[in-house]
Amino acid sequence: MVRIGRSDTPPASIQTEQQRLQAIRLAAEQELGRLRSELGERVAAVEQRERELVDALAKVAKGKALPLPAHADEALTHARVGLAARAQELNKREIELGVREQAVFKLETDLARRATGELVEPDKRLAQIEARLKALQEAEKAFARTQAELAIASDELATRNAALLERERAAAGGMPPTAGLAGGAMSRADLTDLEDRLRKLEHETRSASTERSFGDGLRMLERKGTRGKPPDA
């Protein structure tokens, strides 16, 4: 009997999927870090421009008029609008990354559950497989027995049908039946009954193969198809 050895290592396919999910999570974290760093740099640049503008306005108020940079107000407004848009985009990306991270976590959990289920009690699973195999072998034997009995019944029907035809020909010609057939031939009623039983057995054989499972059909044939043999006349 072949035994399946225990293994504490998940199947290769599960390991590969876990590695892929970890790579996705790492890439998402790196992308989020890059966006945050870029936003921080933009915020620092805008704050620097604001400080420069405040210093320039303060000097103007003190009478120390200094030439403002060309289009300073317009540049500051443009920077603030761009910063707000970038912040909104970053917030949207962060939400998307959070959703993806939850999906990755769910996949990792499912993979871990599958790996645990596949590694639990391999001997018990092997015993179940062997039990099913044994039941299938018994069903095949029962099916073979039923087929053999069906063949025997068919041969017997053919023999007795030939005997009946011989008797009919002898009766039509005014001759007595031959010695071997007079005592062993069946009457027409018995022959008809045997034909009906044979047709029923064949019908049950076909029904078992199409409407039932393999094992149940064979057990039905074994119970119904072998309950006695046709009586001799």
* Same domain as 204, residue 104: no
- More confidently predicted of 78 and 220: 78
Distance in angstroms (rounded) separating the CA atoms of residues 113 and 120:
11
Mean local confidence (pLDDT), 214-226 = 53
Averaged pLDDT of the chain: 70
* Same domain as 99, residue 29: yes
SS3 17: helix
* Same domain as 110, residue 17: yes
Give me the domain span that covers residue 50. 12-120
Residue 134 and residue 210 in contact, taking contact as beta carbons nearer than 8 Å: no
Q: Is there a domain that residue 207 lies in?
A: yes
Residue 102 and residue 25 in contact, taking contact as beta carbons nearer than 8 Å: no
Q: Is there a domain that residue 71 lies in?
A: yes
Q: Is the pLDDT of residue 170 over 60?
A: yes
Q: What is the tens place of the pLDDT at every residue in 68-110?
A: 566 666 766 777 777 777 778 877 877 888 788 788 878 777 7
* Same domain as 114, residue 145: no
* Same domain as 134, residue 95: no
Q: Is there a domain that residue 63 lies in?
A: yes
Domain-ending residue, one of 75, 93, 120: 120
Question: In which residue are the tokens 């760093």 written?
Answer: 37
* Same domain as 107, residue 180: no
Domain-ending residue, one of 104, 120, 136: 120
Q: Is there a domain that residue 210 lies in?
A: yes
Domain-ending residue, one of 99, 120, 141: 120
* Same domain as 107, residue 141: no
* Same domain as 101, residue 46: yes
**CA 202 vs CA 27, 50, 85, 211, 216: distances in Å:** 67, 97, 81, 14, 16
Q: Is there a domain that residue 202 lies in?
A: yes
* Same domain as 67, residue 39: yes
Q: Indicate the pLDDT class of residue 6, thresholds 50, 70 and 90.
A: very low
* Same domain as 111, residue 130: no
| 53: DSSP letter | H
Q: Is the pLDDT of residue 1 over 70?
A: no
* Same domain as 148, residue 71: no
Q: What per-residue confidence (pLDDT) applies to 142?
A: 82
Total domains present in the chain: 2
* Same domain as 95, residue 53: yes
**CA 107 vs CA 6, 13, 21, 31: distances in Å:** 25, 13, 8, 21
- More confidently predicted of 42 and 220: 42
Q: Is there a domain that residue 2 lies in?
A: no
Q: Is there a domain that residue 74 lies in?
A: yes
Q: Is there a domain that residue 6 lies in?
A: no
